[in-house]
Structure 1
């Protein structure tokens, strides 16, 4: 029988998915421009020379313009590749080739560098369904990023990328959930 936290998470995720579905193309375009600008500001303020990021799903804040911006400036970008065992492999990708990985998530195609490759980045950017005012992250329920972040010996700053309405007062929390150091929205960068 699912516990109360699990039920609350599922309800909140469904609500957030619905909100994302009804966004207009103009709202998505403005959000994409804002996300790219805020992420480039974050890179400038942290001095990060290597980052891990992800290829966004169609309903997520669009990370591709930022990825192009970062690569054009010589910033090394690691992209996740899902594995059957619940861990993430990493790749720098080859050109702009993509495939759909496990669970239908877009993934870069390239040489796999293994789960430990993320230990060499200066900044980690993760997707989220929502982030609360304490830095607690509500993911989409598969646990890949929680497992990765929880297993890192020395973790660099981790920032979640969400739409403005997804920075909320509180999200349901379980023991395995990993907080983030900050959140990036189209209009703000907030460090916790």
Structure 2
């Protein structure tokens, strides 16, 4: 597979996303659609990424899960391009971290780091997607590695703006697609798409 093709798609998707002047409103619509499509269950463990720059904003989702459940799992970057998973109980436990992303306060991590196998629903970002759930990230592979550590029944949901959906995303043999894509105008069940 030609990595320049992935890089071209990545550049296009980032440019499209940066051109949006109403990302906050679109993010609110995505948040509403997420909870309409996937009603929250009291005993489920959700992991939600903490948005940065022009990504779909997740602060509303984090607040909602904290309100309903009292806790939500958030990722943080480890030195080896892996993600640590932290059980967050208050948004005040976040501080600016790697790549400018809000991450859990370092001193709290050891006592509240959890295993990927405990996640029931993963809400993840990406740069570009196709309707089959194939994705391109920023190129470091953090979420690619995490996807391989989750239980097979973990629901994998990606959030994106419509402008981030492409006809076809090139894949490699070890790439894992997401199950669902939520945009401001549609909910795509990727596992049933042809």
TM-score band by shorter chain is: 0.7 to 0.9
8 A contact 2:10–2:138 mirrored in 1: yes
In structure 2, the partner of 1:7 is: 4
What's the TM-score once normalised by structure 2's chain length? 0.85
**Structure 2 CA distance for aligned equivalents of residues 66 and 174 of structure 1:** 31
Which piece of structure 1 moves more, 87-96 or 46-55? 46-55
**Are 2:185 and 1:187 aligned?**
yes
Whether 1:107 and 2:103 are equivalent positions in the alignment is yes
Q: Give me the whole-angstrom Cα distance separating, in 2, the residues matched to 1:106 and 1:175.
A: 32
Q: Cα distance, 1:75 vs. partner?
A: 5.7
The match for 1:55 among 13, 33, 50 is 50
What are the ranges of 5 or more consecutive residues in structure 2 without an aligned counterpart?
A: none
CA displacement at 1:90 relative to structure 2: 1.1
| SS of the residue 2:74 aligns to | strand
TM-score by length of 1: 0.86
Where does the alignment leave 5 or more consecutive residues of structure 1 unmatched? none
Q: Superposition pairs for residues 116-155 of structure 1, below 5 Å?
A: 117-155=115-153
- Gap change, CA 1:71 and 1:43, over 3 Å in 2: farther
Q: Distance in 1 between matches of 2:43 and 2:120?
A: 5
Following TM superposition, where does structure 1 have runs of at least 4 consecutive aligned residues deviating by more than 4 angstroms? 45-48
Counterpart selection for 2:33 from 25, 31, 38: 38
When the two structures are aligned, how many residues end up with a matched partner? 186
Shift of 1:48: 6.8
Task: Tell me the residue number matched to 1:174.
Answer: 172
Alignment RMSD (CA, Å): 2.1
Name the structure 2 match of 1:83.
78
Q: Deviations over 1:17-42 (max 9, x none)?
A: 11122211xx2122121111012123
CA distance in 2, matches of 1:8, 1:166: 15
Distance 2:142 2:153 in 1: 15
Q: CA deviation at 1:180?
A: 0.7
Residues 75 and 130 of structure 1, relative CA distance in 2, 3 Å threshold:
farther
Asked whether the 8 Å contact 2:133–2:179 carries over to 1, the reply is: yes
Please give the secondary structure, in 1, of the residue aligned with 2:143: helix
* Mapped contact 1:160–1:184 kept (Cα < 8 A): yes
User: Alignment partner for residue 159 of structure 1, among 140, 157, 170?
Assistant: 157
Deviation at 1:153, TM superposition (A): 4.7
1:71 and 2:69 aligned? no
| Structure 1 residue 178 displacement after superposition | 1.7
